[in-house]
Every structure is written in C-alpha cells, then in structure tokens.
Amino acid sequence: MLDPVSRPPGSFLLRLTRALRSPWVRLSLLVALLAGAVSLVLLFEPHRLLAAGWPPQMSGAGAVLLFGLAYGLLTAAFVPRPVLNLAAGALFGSQAGVVGALAGTVLGAGLAFTLGRLLGQDALRPLLRGRWLKAADGQLSRHGFRSTLAIRLFPGVPFAAANYCAAVSRMGYAPFLLGTALGSLPNTAAYVIVGSEATSPTSPAFLISTGFIVVTGAAGALVAWRKRHRLRPADPDAATADTATADAAAESHGDGVRADERAPSAV
C-alpha cells in the first residue's frame, strides 16, 4: 500500500473529482461560496465604496465597464440592486449609468444562474415535492422568458434569490438572460435617473422616475397578491404531469436531462 508521501500526484485530483460528483457536496460548496461572499460584503462594504465615488484617473467606457463587472459580482453576493443603480446614476449620469447598471444586472444574473445550475440543481430538484413548489417549477420550466420578464418588471422578489431559484428549474440560459435584460430595464433606468438627478429633487426627471418606482412597486405587490393562486394547482397530479412534460421537452431539446432525473408521470 502506498503511504501518503508516495501517492501519485493525480490521486488527489481523482478523489476531488469523485467528491464533486456528489450533488450534496456541490450544494455545500455553493453555500460556502455564498456565505463567504456575503461575509466579505458585510465586512468591507464594497458597494459603499462604489457609491462614495470613483478614482479620478478612471473615466469613460473603461470605468463604466469596470463598474458593471463590480456590479455583477456584488449582486451575486446579495447586494441590493437599488443601491448600485443609484450609484451608477450619481457616478456616470443617466445614459452611461443605465448601460453600466444593465450590463452588471445581466452579468450578476448569469453568474448566479450558473453557480446555482452547476452546484445546486442536482441536489435541490428531488426536493421539489410540494404542490406549490412543483407548480412554480413547472411555470419556470415551461415559460422561462415570460416568467422571468414578469418577475423583473414587477419588483418584490429579491434579485439574487430569484436567480438561484430559477437555476433549479429547467429554464434555459437564453430566455433567462433575455427576460432579465428586458424586464430589468425600466426599473433600472428609473433608479439610475433618480441617482443622477439627486441634486435636483424637484426636477421633472427626478419626480417622474420616483413616481414610476412607487407605482411599479405597488403594482407588483398587487399582482402577486391577486395571482398567487395560479401557483396552486387544484389537482396535485396535474402539477406532477406538467413537470414530467417539461422534463421530457427539455430532454428532447438536448438540455442534458438524464432519464433517471425525470419527474414521475401522473397516474
């Protein structure tokens, strides 16, 4: 038997690869990554550094690009987007601020979606057994673009939480990112304009944007309250059948769904 000193150099990588095949090991890694990211945000408060100002030697498109990158990383670590949107407007103005904030929004959504899909989906999908969870999963899997667009248009669902939850479904990247970009644009632009016009709170742009934020927030709460029953199927077997149909469709389109992961068909 080989002692620890004489083990082949590839044995550690082999054991690591085998460990990462376990869904629960990957989920634990995801939880550890998120906990570490949130801890760093709470400790160093990088979003406050962004809001406080920008290095004077950095300007133009390069500064906007770097801001978008930082924005994406921070949103994946659960930093609230309104804070970053206001900072984008204050730092770059309305036009460049919208570009940087929207790019960061899509980047952060894609990063969170990828982490959730790679590290959390296999472990969490078998837990989708409740009627409400099955119905929500079926809605996201079958109508990815429409569901994402609605979630982004009407604020209320935390941005990062929505990203990680969507990753557990069978939704594809294209509908998720496109729905995020289009759905996030109006609210993002409103916050950016408020940030850019913060020194002129009586200006029409500031008042209109503030009103838009208030109205969309109230409308989102009202729609969520009135339509909540749609995620509660009267027949539990209907939700199971819908999920099985969505999984079969994903299999036929090459989404990489294994046959043993399909939801059971309705009896």
The per-residue pLDDT string of the chain (267 residues; one tens digit each, 9 = 90 and over) reads: 445 555 555 676 776 666 666 777 888 888 898 899 889 888 888 877 776 666 666 778 888 999 999 999 999 999 999 999 999 999 899 999 999 999 999 999 999 999 999 887 777 777 776 666 677 788 888 899 999 998 898 777 789 889 998 988 889 999 999 999 999 999 999 999 999 998 899 999 999 999 998 888 888 777 767 666 555 554 545 445 555 555 555 554 444 444 444 444 443
Distance between CA atoms of residues 236 and 233, nearest Å: 6
Between CA 60 and CA 72 the distance in angstroms is 19
3-state secondary structure at position 259 = helix
Q: What pLDDT score does 245 carry?
A: 54
| pLDDT at site 259 | 43
| Spatial contact of 225 and 154, defined as CB atoms under 8 Å apart | no
Report residue 159 CA to chain centroid gap.
6
**Is residue 254 packed enough to be buried (19+ CB in 10 Å), middle (13-18) or exposed (0-12)?**
exposed
Contact status, residue 206 vs residue 194, Cβ threshold 8 Å: yes
- Provide the 3-class DSSP secondary structure of residue 170: coil
Q: Which two three-digit tokens encode residue 96?
A: 């460049």
Those residues with Cβ within 8 angstroms of residue 36's Cβ, 6 or more apart along the chain or in another chain? none
Residue 59: predicted pLDDT: 74
**Which pLDDT belongs to residue 183?**
94
pTM score over 0.95: no
CA-derived radius of gyration, the chain = 22
Tens digit of each residue's pLDDT (9 = 90 or more) over 5-53 = 555 556 767 766 666 667 778 888 888 988 998 898 888 888 777 766 6
Domain range list for the chain: 22-258
Chain centroid to CA 126: how far?
Answer: 21
